Structure 1
């Protein structure tokens, strides 16, 4: 089984002008896929690739945090703990803890995907709508709308931090029960406490990552938000964006 590798960062604002002029539609159901605007070819390609990346979270191994020089460690969908590709013997209680920790890692990744896609939506709309608002004389109104939408994206980003206490708890429980996992239990309380400080919402643990920077310049939210995990579909999302930005 292929491993779910690390980091898919969707930065759409520089490509927005090449993605069509359709206005972005807000998410209707709160899912990562629905957070992307669906009007432009660029948006559809990235939405499709990120939806596939999200599905892969459930079906591929997820790597866990590790110290330098340690062998790669992964948790499989079945709750196996693999070190350097070899299964470490575990009992049923340990397997349950592995599955619980894996579920918390996935929850962080999904939260990051959701905020990344909503930030991309906002970035595309900011890029395509700014010039229109100037010509229509509604630039002040447009600015207020973007500010309000930015606050909603930040509220979504808070969900990244909200997932971290459970992730730390499951890591500590697993490390206490499974000695082979202890070298990979590098998250501590400071990671929980620091999340959200100075408008920076970041989680980066092994095979999953999530990031949102509130201090992005107006209209640049998409360049400062991302989500991911090591996945082929995530790489395809980036390739789709780059491909859609190529002049025809």
Structure 2
């Protein structure tokens, strides 16, 4: 978003000079620079998010940081900081403070399934971020240079970006909220099967409702 706003400011900064001298070449130069910045921003977004997706697949999944949903998420996060570091590796090993815990084949399958669910939710979040970033870039990129400058000066550009981002983000975030019941069930099964996992099974029945309520509150203010 900072880069997007920078593009808008880039357009508005030389406005007075362009108007005073009617310099068509200057306008063309500014427009080309804006298009170049937008192309770079799109490339940067795609590279960064592709890297994040790869890291989800290849890195260990941290459990002690917890999953935060709804109003209670901050309290749970603070509580989880007292827990030892726990991870699920891409092979399904369960580590506490870096030490592999004894597990059988069934527990490994459960750990891998749970890891896959969490990674799936995280990837959904990344996809939402990419769609919203590209929607914001589209809002900046569409239209004339004058329209971009006027929108940056009046605030209409920012409001248009907010509307577009909301249209992309809200349905996706609600979809993530609706994946929580299945994730909570997977946590509970693992907690029943593997005692060492129990402190990290933090999702509760109220988290789904809290998640949806938080989405409504957050987007009602936009």
Question: Structure 1-normalised TM-score?
Answer: 0.61
What SS does the corresponding residue of 1:70 show, helix, strand or coil?
coil
Structure-1 residue corresponding to 2:199: 183
Query: If you compute each CA radius of gyration, which structure gives the higher value, 1 or 2?
Result: 2
Secondary structure at the residue paired with 1:78? coil
Residues matched between the structures, number: 180
User: Contact between 2:190 and 2:197, CA under 8 Å: does it hold in 1?
Assistant: yes
Residue 172 (structure 1) aligned with residue 188 (structure 2): yes
What per-residue deviation string (whole Å, max 9, x for no partner) do you get for residues 81-113 of structure 1? 000000001001111110111011101101111
CA deviations on 1:134-192 (whole Å, 9 max, x unpaired) are 869xx99xx78974663243222222112212211111111110000111111111211
- Once the two structures are TM-superposed, the CA of residue 199 in structure 1 deviates from its matched residue by 2.6
Gaps of 5+ in 1: 1-9, 24-37, 202-212, 218-248
Structure 2 spans left out of the alignment, 5+ residues: 12-32, 66-79
- What's 1:49 paired with? 48
* Larger strand percent: 1
Question: Out of 88, 106, 117, which is 1:75 matched to?
Answer: 88
2:128–2:169 Cα contact (<8 Å) kept: yes
TM-score for both structures, normalised by structure 2? 0.67
Q: Quote the offset at 1:54 in angstroms.
A: 0.3
Deviation at residue 15 of structure 1 after TM alignment: 4.2
In structure 2, the partner of 1:100 is 113
Is structure 2 residue 138 aligned with structure 1 residue 125?
yes
RMSD: 3.5
Tell me if structure 1 keeps the 8 A contact 2:177–2:208: yes
Question: In 2, Cα distance between the equivalents of 1:145 and 1:65?
Answer: 35
Does 1 or 2 have the higher relative contact order (CA < 8 Å, sep 6+)?
A: 1
More helix, by proportion: 2
Provide closer, same or farther for how the CA distance between residues 48 and 134 of structure 1 changes in structure 2, counting only shifts above 3 A: closer
Matched residue, 2:219: 214
